[in-house]
Amino acid sequence: MNVLVTGGAGFLGSHFVRAVLADRLPGLEGASVTILDKLSYGTASFDTLGDVAHAKRLDFVPGDACDPALVGALVPRCDTIVHAAFAGQASHVLATSVLLSAAQRHGSARFVHMSCETACGPGGPHPESARLAPTSPAAAALAGADLLAVAFHRTHGLPAMVVRGSTTYGTHQHPAGVLPRAVTRLLDGGTVPLRADRERDWLHVDDHCRAIALVLARGRPGETYHVGGSVELSERALIAMVLDEMGAGPDRVADAPLPTGDDLRCVLDDGKIRDELGWQPQVEFATGLAATIRWYREHPGWWRPQIG
C-alpha cells in the first residue's frame, strides 16, 4: 500500500505518517507514504517528521494540493489518500475538489477527508446526521469540503469517507493552539489567556490516528465518522490542570475574550465509530496531558521560533 497524505508535515498529518512508518497502525503495516505539503503553515516542516524523515518508505513532495498537474502526477502512484491538509478558507474546497477528481479518474481504493467538529457548529453532541451549521469562514470551508467528499461517492462511486475529529492535542502542535499556548507561555514566564466559557472534548492525537486507520480499513464508503475525545472540559478546568501539572499559581492567568466566530461549546457524538468499528480512546487525558507538557518542556528549540 502507498498512502498519499496531504498536510503530512503538519500536526495531525505528521503524527499519522510517523505512526504508519513505525508500523503502529493495524492494517497499514509495511505501507509506504507520499507526503504532499506546501509547508506554509506554522510548524509544518520536514523536521516535524523527526526520526522517520529519511525512512526508505517515505517520499516527501513539497507542493500545493490545489495544483491539478502535481496532484494528477502523484495520485496514480498511491492507492489510498488521506487528505489532512487545511488549505485555508479561500482554497480548501478547491484543493479537496482537485484531489477527489484525481482520485476518481485514477480509481483510488480509499479516500479519507479529515475534518473537525467546527464544521457542525455550536452545541452537541452532534451525530453524523446533524445539519452542518458552521459559524466561521474557516469552518464553512471545512463543511463544504466534507459535503464534496460525500457527493463524489454518491455521484461517481468514489470510496470516499469523512473523519470529523474533536479538538485534538499532543506534541508538535503549533503554539497558537489552546493547550500549547498555555504551556509555552508558562514555560516562558508569561501569563495564560483564559476564555472561561469555552468548552471542548479533548482527543489525543494518537487516538485520532487510530481512528483514521480504522476508517481506512473498515469504514463504509460515503459515510462520515465522528471521533470524540476522552474528556469534555471547560477551558477554565483545562488551564487549572495545566497550572497544577506545571506547579504554577492562578496569578499566571489572565481573562481573554472569545475570538469572533469561535463556538462556546462544540461536541461530537462518536457512537457510530464505536459501534461499527470498535474504536474508543485509549489515552487517558491526565496521562496525555502530562506527556504533552513534558515534550514542550524538553523541546523549546522546536516551538520557540514559532512564537511571533
How far apart CA 223 and CA 204 sit, in angstroms, is: 23
Q: Give all domains of the chain, ordered by start, each with its CATH number.
A: 2-167+203-227 (3.40.50.720), 171-201+230-261+284-306 (3.90.25.10)
- Check the CA dihedral 127-122-132-84 and report its sign: negative
Select from 277, 281, 266, 271 the least CA-distant residue to 208: 281
Cα–Cα distance measured from residue 91 to residue 84, given in angstroms and rounded to the nearest whole number: 14
Cell 487516538 found at: 207
C-alpha to C-alpha distances, 32 to 3, 23, 35, 161, 199, nearest whole angstrom: 6, 10, 10, 21, 38
> Do the strands 32-37 and 58-62 form a parallel or antiparallel pair, or are they unpaired?
parallel
Q: Cβ neighbours of residue 69 under 8 Å, at least 6 residues apart?
A: none
Q: What is the full per-residue pLDDT of the chain (308 aa) written as tens digits?
A: 999 999 999 999 999 999 999 999 999 999 999 999 998 765 556 777 878 888 999 999 999 999 999 999 999 999 999 999 997 888 999 999 999 999 999 999 999 999 999 999 999 999 999 999 999 999 999 999 999 999 999 999 999 999 999 999 999 999 999 999 999 999 999 999 998 778 999 999 999 999 999 999 999 999 999 999 999 999 999 999 999 999 999 999 999 887 777 888 999 999 999 999 999 999 999 999 999 999 999 999 989 988 86
Residue 119 contacts residue 143 (beta carbons within 8 Å) = yes
